[in-house]
Structure 1
Amino acid sequence: MEEFKNVSQDMGCGPYSNQAECIKYVVTCIIICIGLPLILVAIYALYSLVGKDHVAPIYVINLLISDLIQFCWMIDWVAKPDQKIDKIGFLFYGSSLVARVYFMVCISLERYLLIACPLWYRFRRPIKISVVVCVLVWIISLALGFTVVFLYIPEHSETILASFFFLPLPLLILFLGGTLKALSASISVPADMKQRIVGMLVVVLLIYTLLFLPIIITLLKKHDDRALNSLSFLFLKLSPLADLVLYVFMRKGAIDKLLASVCCCRMDSNDESCSTV
């Protein structure tokens, strides 16, 4: 856990001791300047979809709110790079990371139910249940963060945190596989919606695999590897930008044309291979 905090503090740029830290500082500022306004716009746009009794935007909104918390922590790093890490701030930062991965699970589960159980989903998707689920995710994440930050046990804290980060992986794979399996039997979901759903599930799994698995490896390593630590936390800084892709899959429009063109290209290639045989 102390290793986690020490590397976190390095994410800000203190006095420029070398060129690498200067680059970290510049990259952090660029990510904040690009990501913060885009996330605020995405939250506002998704809020309009919630009024239409859509459930998925609620989970995506909470995911983006966790990104906002991380941006606030990054701004604090940039503004006060030399300050001692505040336990309260680190509590909210760590809790927001845990909440993010479990809101990814909620998004994947909701999309899976839309394909696998369309009739059940149509009549059993009240917004109140989704709000309760979101509240529970935040409570569990804060409880875990409080345990790790204030009840720090050197022998177990990193393992506990890594376990909570790793647990969503089999669930994300399961929901993606179940969705792909149910696609052939589903006739009530339009083709363009199917494409967006599968695309969203794939993006969620890619975001988790590429940006969160490195931090799990960092937490489980017994020996300090500063290069791996810096790389894993750099990925965490980039992850809020990756979450914005999920907003694109919530909106109809250009993404439908892109997915349709990809599917058409795949069908054309299959037709050509069949004709040559």
Structure 2
Amino acid sequence: MMPSLHSSTILAAYIIIFLTGLPANLLALRAFMGRVRQPQPAPVHILLLSLTLTDLLLLLLLPFKIMEAASDFHWYLPDVVCALTGFAFFSSIYCSTWLLAGISIERYLGVAFPVQYKLSRRPLYGVIAALVSWIMSFGHCTIVIIVQYLNSTQQAGYSNEVTCYENFTQEQLDVLLPVRLEVCLVLFFIPMAVTIFCYWRFVWIMLTQPHVGAQRRRRAVGLAVVTLLNFLVCFAPYNISHLVGFFTRESPEWRAEAVVFSSLNASLDPLLFYFSSSVVRRTFGKGLQLLRNQGSSLLGCRGKETAEVTNGDRGVSQAEGAPNLDFTTD
């Protein structure tokens, strides 16, 4: 079955998110795994590692969404695959919101109370915050499985084609819509309010302190902007659909497009990682250098490549030997 224009657009968006997000998050995973293995890692690196794992979970589930869009939103796999995929997919989306809030809290405390923060920070705090985020998101999203099996009717309109978490009976909506509203408030609006407050204070402190260099100020602003874009561009449309659905007593027709924007979070988070950690910046730099070297090799520029590798390695060594420019943690 050929997908419609609407399905083809969503299919293309999912493919782009998958191809851009997967390699970037794998590079970030490598960087953060090395960082948390060191003695006494900062809580923020544990949170960033957890956010990377959350993004990778979403990206590994995207092939199911790609297959669904390619089939014009008809579901040909077993029902249990639909339920488990939806459960993990939506849980990963909502886990990101509280992890982003936790990162914003850590950044604010690090610059507002630097001495007290440095003396009291423990890796355990990052582990606890990450576990709470995972438990809250996965606990709330168990409703996906409950609704999926509350009533076996999941047909697309009046046809015999089965959909996955798209069409609901009135019995299902009576359970689903109030839970969506609660999820929207607890897992979106509250963490967004916390994040906006913390980054507003964080950026204000970074911009008003005379001893803070221009480079750190730019990264502070970039970190705040990327995080705000995550909430407003990626998470807001999907959660607004919950509000609209609650008051109209039905799922909005544009919900599928809102889910695509939520998935975009997995491609936007690597920018946050880049602004947050010098470890990630070095890892991304090495990855880009490797791509340039391979491109030069394919073009037959072996002599020029050798000189570039030597200069690049020397630059990386100097950067690794220089003092870290992260805000408070590296």
| Aligned mates of 2:129, 2:55 — CA distance in 1 | 18
Instruction: Kindly indicate whether the alpha-carbon contact (under 8 Å) linking 1:108 and 1:172 is maintained by their aligned counterparts in 2.
Output: yes
Q: From the superposition, tell whether residues 184 and 166 of structure 1 become closer, same or farther in structure 2 (CA, over 3 Å).
A: closer
Q: Aligned match of 2:14 in 15, 28, 34?
A: 28
State the aligned residue count: 240
Deviation at 1:201, TM superposition (A): 2.2
Which residue of the other structure, out of 202, 216, 226, is the alignment partner of 1:179?
A: 202
Aligned residue in 2 for 1:62? 50
Identity of aligned residues (%): 22
Identify unmatched segments of 5+ residues in structure 1. Answer: 1-14, 256-277
TM-score normalised by length of structure 2: 0.65
Instruction: Indicate if the aligned counterparts of 2:143 and 2:176 stay in contact, CA closer than 8 A.
Output: no
Alpha-carbon distance in structure 2 between the residues aligned to 1:44 and 1:88:
27
CA distance in 2, matches of 1:79, 1:184: 47
CA distance in 1, matches of 2:226, 2:12: 27
Q: Is the Cα contact below 8 Å between 1:43 and 1:61 reproduced in 2?
A: yes
**Cα 1:189/1:117, change in 2 over 3 Å:** farther
Q: 1:170-189: per-residue Cα shift (whole Å, max 9, x none)?
A: 11111122223433665776
1:157 pairs with 2:179? yes
Match of 1:197 among 213, 220, 235: 220
2:238 aligns with 215
Per the TM alignment, residue 196 of structure 1 is displaced from its structure 2 partner at its CA by 2.4
Aligned residue number for residue 145 of structure 1: 141
Q: What is the root-mean-square deviation of aligned Cα atoms in Å?
A: 2.6
Residue 273 of structure 2 aligns to a residue in which SS?
Answer: helix
Structure 2: distance between partners of 1:66 and 1:196: 23
- Change in Cα spacing, 1:241 to 1:184, as seen in structure 2 (3 Å) is closer
* Larger CA deviation: 235-244 vs 184-193: 184-193
Letter matched to residue 109 of structure 1: I
Q: Give, in whole Å, the separation in 2 of the partners of 1:235 and 1:180.
A: 26
Equivalent position of 2:66 in the other structure: 78
Deviation per CA, 1:89-123: give whole Å up to 9, x if none. Answer: 22211211111000000111111111101001111
Please give the alpha-carbon distance, in whole angstroms, between the structure 2 residues aligned to 1:119 and 1:195: 23
Indicate whether 1:107 and 2:100 are aligned: no
Identify unmatched segments of 5+ residues in structure 2: 148-171, 285-330
Question: 1:233 and 2:259 equivalent?
Answer: yes
Q: Distance in 2 between matches of 1:173 and 1:23?
A: 32
TM superposition score normalised by structure 1: 0.76
C-alpha distance after superposition, 1:142-192 (max 9, x if no partner): 111124542771441221122122221211111122223433665776654
Q: Distance in 2 between matches of 1:20 and 1:211?
A: 19
